[in-house]
């Protein structure tokens, strides 16, 4: 025999208010829509059905068994069955505990957000640029201007919901009658119905067309950063709020430079003599070549910094640096003269 008092976590002398309070707490915790266990949820309801009813509770306390009672859970033997529709239960608990609630009409008409990628080169991050993209999406109907009604005709208030877009629905449950708000089935939450639907959009207030959109991309932007273009997603239904456009930026990999944050890195080969004696060499940047002084006695792997030749800061003030790693080349093929000179240097201890 199941211990219903233990299931609800209450003592046998608990008041009816204590029973109700314990049930609400546990039902909220174990509700399937909140990630709870469905079987546990049923068990809690089974216990509550008995202990919340004075006659059933008294019979349960005296009989010591649930089999002799004139009610049952599901298809258990003996007496009439009481079955529950978990869908109805879910809706009821959504209203009781705040899992759901009224559906806003604006949300019903709101347009869908759009997410797209734009690829740019590393060079394009040096300055703010504007890119134009073309999207095939829902746009406001040019004939009815989003109202959904044929020009010259009117929008009439929905008779069923009186313009609210919502109607009350009463459901009978084991807790009694539960009143909840639901979307009006006549106007689908709009609150209005066109006298005559638009001939172009068929009353929806929007149609699918190509739209060219200019996107501003600030200097210094990096890969996977997202730009929000407000209200440039899909148009809302019947004049509803449009969605937003989200642009994810992808910076193409560069064949020469490696980017880390706002800094750039490059490997620059130099000859043995340049490393030993020092020199001025041409070094590439994103804006062209510049002269870089190589100190005498430089070793392979030495890194030189060139200030303000990296990527502009996203804040708009200043730039990162360019770091040049010197790679001393070891010649593999020498002329006769070069070999003789190196031998002389070797004799001098070099």
Mean pLDDT, to the nearest integer, of 173-189?
74
Q: Over pLDDT 70: what percentage of the chain? A: 83
pLDDT tens digits along 112-136: 999 999 999 999 999 999 999 999 9
Say if 313 falls within a structural domain.
yes
Domain around 294 = 258-347
Total structural domains within the chain: 3
DSSP 157: E
Note whether 81 and 36 are same-domain residues: yes
Rounded CA gap, 222 and 249, in Å?
A: 7
CATH number of the domain enclosing 14: 1.10.287.110
DSSP 263: E
Tell me which of 89 and 287 has the higher pLDDT: 287
DSSP β-ladder status, 303-306 and 322-328: antiparallel
Least confident of 74-83, 208-217, 240-249: 74-83
Task: Give just the sign of the alpha carbon dihedral 342, 343, 345, 346.
Answer: positive
Helix (H, G, I), strand (E, B) or coil at 47: helix
CATH number of the domain enclosing 280: 2.60.260.20
Note whether 124 and 220 are same-domain residues: yes
pLDDT tens digits along 282-304: 999 999 999 999 999 999 999 99
Q: Over pLDDT 90: what percentage of the chain? A: 49
Say if 160 falls within a structural domain.
no
Say if 79 falls within a structural domain.
yes
Note whether 28 and 71 are same-domain residues: yes
Say if 169 falls within a structural domain.
no
Note whether 81 and 212 are same-domain residues: no
CB-CB contact of 250 with 118 (8 Å): yes
| Residue that finishes a domain, picked among 216, 236, 253 | 253
pLDDT tens digits along 134-171: 999 999 999 999 999 999 998 888 888 878 888 877 77
CB-CB contact of 3 with 61 (8 Å): no
Say if 167 falls within a structural domain.
no
Rounded CA gap, 182 and 248, in Å?
A: 37
Name the token pair of 213. Answer: 């959109």
Note whether 268 and 236 are same-domain residues: no
The band of 69, judged by pLDDT with boundaries at 50, 70 and 90, is very low
Residue 74 to residues 4, 40, 45, 177: CA-CA distances in angstroms?
16, 14, 12, 21
Number of residues in the chain: 350
Say if 326 falls within a structural domain.
yes
Say if 157 falls within a structural domain.
no
- Please give the model's pTM, rounded to 2 decimal places: 0.62
Note whether 113 and 248 are same-domain residues: yes
Note whether 137 and 221 are same-domain residues: yes
Note whether 113 and 230 are same-domain residues: yes
């Amino acid at each position: 025999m199941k211990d219903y008092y233990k299931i609800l976590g209450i003592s046998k002398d608990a008041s009816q208010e204590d029973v109700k309070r314990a049930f609400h707490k546990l039902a909220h915790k174990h509700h399937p829509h909140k990630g709870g266990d469905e079987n546990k949820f049923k068990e809690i309801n089974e216990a509550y059905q008995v202990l919340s009813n004075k006659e059933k509770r008294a019979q349960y306390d005296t009989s010591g068994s649930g089999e002799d009672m004139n009610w049952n859970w599901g298809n258990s033997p003996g007496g009439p069955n009481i079955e529950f529709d978990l869908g109805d239960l879910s809706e009821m608990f959504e209203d009781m505990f705040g899992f759901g609630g009224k559906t806003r009409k604006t949300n019903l008409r709101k347009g869908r957000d759009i997410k797209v990628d734009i690829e740019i080169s590393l060079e394009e991050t040096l300055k703010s640029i504007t890119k134009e993209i073309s999207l095939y999406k829902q746009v406001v109907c040019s004939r009815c201007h989003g109202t959904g009604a044929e020009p010259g005709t009117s929008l009439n208030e929905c008779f069923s919901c009186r313009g609210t877009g919502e109607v009350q629905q009463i459901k009978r449950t084991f807790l009694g009658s539960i009143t909840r708000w639901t979307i009006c089935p006549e106007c689908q939450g709009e609150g209005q119905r066109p006298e005559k639907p638009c001939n172009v959009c068929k009353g929806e207030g929007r149609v699918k067309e190509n739209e060219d959109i200019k996107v501003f991309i600030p200097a210094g932007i990096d890969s996977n950063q997202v730009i929000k273009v407000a209200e440039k997603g899909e148009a809302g239904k019947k004049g509803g709020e449009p969605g937003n456009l989200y642009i994810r930026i992808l910076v193409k990999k560069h064949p020469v430079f490696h980017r880390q944050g706002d800094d750039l890195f490059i490997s620059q080969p130099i000859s043995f003599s340049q490393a030993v004696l020092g020199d001025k060499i041409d070094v590439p940047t994103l804006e062209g070549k510049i002269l870089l002084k190589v100190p005498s006695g430089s070793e392979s792997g030495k890194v030189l910094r060139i200030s303000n030749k990296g990527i502009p800061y996203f804040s708009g003030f200043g730039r990162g640096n360019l770091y040049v790693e010197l790679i001393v080349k070891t010649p593999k093929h020498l002329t006769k003269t070069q070999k003789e000179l190196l031998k002389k240097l070797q004799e001098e201890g070099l």
